[in-house]
C-alpha cells in the first residue's frame, strides 16, 4: 500500500544534512520547510500520514482532514497535537522520546554554567585586555558560583530529567525531583513540589507542557523559592 505523506515543517529537523529517503520509501512524500497556520489544512489535503515538529494540529484541523491515519511528531513533546481529538478519530500519535535527551541535558548545563560564571561577559572582557591590565591575577566582574554542594531541583524526572541529574551529580550537586508519575526505582530522589521549591538552589523544568503543568512556575511558586534562585 502506497501512503501519501506530508511533512509540515521539515527544515527544523533536516535543514539539508539528512535524508528523507526512509519516508519516501513508504509512498508519495511532500516536504515543506515551514507551514503557516492558514496553510496547514490545504497542505495536509488527502494525506494519510502527517509529520510535524512544531506545526500545531488542533481539533479543527484533525476533524477537517479526511484521510489522516497516523500523526508523527518529530520531537519529544507532543503538546502541538490535540491528542484527544486524534483519539476520538482513532488516529495514533507517536513522538520520539529519546532523540534529544543528551543534547537537552547538555544545554541545560550550558545555561547554568553561563549563569554561574558569566562566561561570555568575562570572555569579552579578556579580549578587551581588561584582565592583562588588571593589577590582580584573579579577575572577575561578578561573583562566581561553585555548583558543588548546591541543590538542584528537577521538575520532571523522565529521561531528560535523569540525564540532567547525572551531570549534576558529577558536579557534586545534590539532586531532588518532583514528578507526578513516580518511578519506584527513584523514591530516594522524590520530594513534594513545595519542598523542592523551598530547598533548591537551582530549579530546572523537564516536564511536558500539559494543562496540569501550564503555569507551574508563577508568582506563588516563585515566592516559595530561595532569594536569587
Across 72-106, b (16+ Cβ under 10 Å) vs e yields bbbbbbbbbbbbebbeeeebebebeeeebbeebbe
User: Residue ranges per domain, the chain?
Assistant: 3-94, 101-115+145-224
- The domain over range 101-115+145-224 is classified in CATH as 3.40.50.720: yes
Percent of the chain past pLDDT 70, that is, above it, reads 100
Quick: pLDDT tens for 180-189. 989 999 999 9
Quick: pLDDT tens for 36-91. 999 999 999 999 999 999 999 999 999 999 999 999 999 998 999 999 999 999 99
Take residue 166 and report the three cell numbers written for it: 547525572
Please give the pLDDT value at position 209. Answer: 83
Predicted TM-score of the model (pTM): 0.85
Same fold, 3-94 and 101-115+145-224: yes
User: Which fold does the domain 3-94 belong to in CATH?
Assistant: Rossmann fold (3.40.50)
What string of DSSP letters covers 100-114?
THHHHHHHHHHHHHH
Amino acid at each position: 500500500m502506497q501512503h501519501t505523506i506530508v511533512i509540515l515543517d521539515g527544515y527544523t529537523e533536516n535543514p539539508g544534512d539528512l535524508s528523507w529517503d526512509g519516508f519516501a520509501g513508504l509512498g508519495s512524500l511532500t516536504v515543506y520547510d515551514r507551514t503557516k497556520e492558514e496553510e496547514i489544512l490545504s497542505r495536509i489535503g488527502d494525506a494519510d500520514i502527517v509529520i510535524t515538529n512544531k506545526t500545531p494540529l488542533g481539533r479543527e484541523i484533525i476533524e477537517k482532514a479526511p484521510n489522516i491515519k497516523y500523526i508523527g511528531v518529530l520531537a519529544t513533546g507532543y503538546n502541538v497535537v490535540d491528542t484527544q481529538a486524534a483519539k476520538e478519530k482513532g488516529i495514533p500519535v507517536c513522538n520520539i522520546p529519546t532523540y534529544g535527551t543528551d543534547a537537552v541535558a547538555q544545554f541545560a548545563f550550558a545555561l547554568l554554567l553561563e549563569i554561574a560564571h558569566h562566561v561570555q561577559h568575562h570572555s569579552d572582557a579578556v579580549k578587551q585586555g581588561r584582565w592583562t591590565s588588571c593589577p590582580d591575577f584573579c579577575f572577575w566582574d561578578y561573583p562566581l558560583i561553585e555548583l558543588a554542594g548546591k541543590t538542584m531541583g528537577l521538575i520532571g524526572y523522565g529521561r531528560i530529567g535523569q540525564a540532567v541529574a547525572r551531570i549534576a551529580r558529577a558536579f557534586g550537586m545534590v539532586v531532588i525531583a518532583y514528578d507526578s508519575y513516580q518511578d519506584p526505582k527513584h523514591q530516594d530522589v522524590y520530594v513534594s513540589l513545595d519542598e523542592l521549591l523551598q530547598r533548591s538552589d537551582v530549579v530546572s523544568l523537564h516536564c511536558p507542557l500539559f494543562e496540569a503543568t501550564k503555569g507551574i512556575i508563577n508568582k506563588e511558586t516563585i515566592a516559595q523559592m530561595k532569594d536569587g534562585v
